[in-house]
A = this chain, B = another copy of it.
Amino acid sequence: MSKNIETFIGCDSDYRDARAVIFGAPFDSTTSYRPGTRFASRTMRMESFGLETYSLYQDKDMEEIAVFDGGDLELCFGDTPKALAQIEAFTREILADHKLPVMIGGEHLVTLGAVRAVVSQYPDLHVIHFDAHADLRDDYLGVTLSHASVMHRVWDLVGDHKIFQFGIRSGDRSEFLWGKDHVTTQKFNFNGLAEVVKPLQDKPVYFTLDLDVLDPSIFPGTGTPEAGGVGFLELLDAIQIVSKLNIVGCDLNELSPIYDQSGASTAVACKVLRELLLAIL
């Protein structure tokens, strides 16, 4: 008898055979409003068994692709640099084995750990960023390693005009002023996504998906719900477009199961992850 193995549904590949590796980054120490995203990956893994492996949208099945589920990193709480270093190291390991890292946050700051690893291998990295919040502050209450400044930190790494934001509908005025010169921001929706991705066809792209880009009607289970978001089918369409790029790393984050009493947000997150994996692989 072998020990009890738990994976996200359909992610049964051995590490060796896998093209992609999913893993959880259960960290939310810098969340300034409502914490709880640390529980996202384990809850998604558990609840994914309410989902089919087959997608009617894409007519593909998880059993036809090779994904390895590495479980959750054991991250410390309260020491952000240390936690980010753990994430970076694990992502490097996946990249070194020529596999696609697919991280489940956690708060959005975990993206920084993964991007550090990815950008070291792909210096010309571009970033597609779906989110309700701009996340462009230089610091939040004096803390520079903050969920609210994660895209500014990513910009530190990739530089001007490499970050493309969509769905943004909340932020400080100063963020948008700063952003104008450094990143491309599409407010409220995915308009223009098809055009934006055209020149990126031959670039390495990191795709970070803050699930709160979705409207709270379909995704209330997050720390900072922002009304006026995109719909589920709009998101699926946008993912299809992005998946045509050369994705070298990606993550989805900010599900907070504590605030998902009905379980519907977790089900949404699981379905998005399934569609994302099926689209990219």
Chain A interface residues toward B at CB < 8 A: 1-7, 14-15, 21, 28-36, 38, 42, 45-46, 49-52, 54, 56-57, 59, 61, 68-72, 74-80, 82, 109, 140-143, 145-146, 168-173, 176, 187-188, 215-218, 220-221, 223-228, 232-233, 236, 258-265, 267-268, 271
Contact = CB atoms under 8 A, between A and B. Distances in A.
B3 A68 contact: yes
Nearest to A31: B77
B32 A77 contact: yes
Contact of A56 (B69, B187, B216, B260): B187
The 5 closest A-B pairs by CB, nearest first: A4-B71, A30-B78, A220-B262, A220-B264, A217-B217
User: Majority SS of interface residues in chain A?
Assistant: loop
Contact of A5 (B5, B31, B226, B260): B5
Nearest to A259: B262
A5 B7 contact: no
A71 B259 CA distance: 26
A82 B143 contact: yes
B71 A5 contact: yes
21 contacts: A1-B15, A1-B70, A4-B7, A4-B70, A5-B71, A29-B29, A29-B78, A30-B77, A32-B77, A34-B263, A46-B46, A54-B173, A75-B141, A77-B146, A78-B109, A78-B146, A215-B218, A220-B264, A226-B271, A228-B236, A261-B262
A276 to B, nearest CB: 13
A7 B15 contact: no
Given A52-B170, A56-B188, A261-B262, 19 more contacts: A3-B7, A4-B69, A31-B77, A56-B168, A56-B170, A56-B176, A57-B169, A59-B173, A216-B267, A217-B264, A218-B227, A220-B263, A220-B264, A221-B262, A225-B263, A227-B267, A259-B263, A259-B264, A260-B262
A233 B228 contact: yes
**Residue among A140, A188, A264 with max Cβ neighbours from chain B (10 Å):** A264
A220 B267 CA distance: 10
B34 A50 contact: yes
Contacts of A68: 1, 3
A82 B216 contact: no
A268 B216 contact: yes
A6 B28 CA distance: 22
A76 to B, nearest CB: 4
Contact of A54 (B168, B171, B224): B171
A206 B32 CA distance: 29
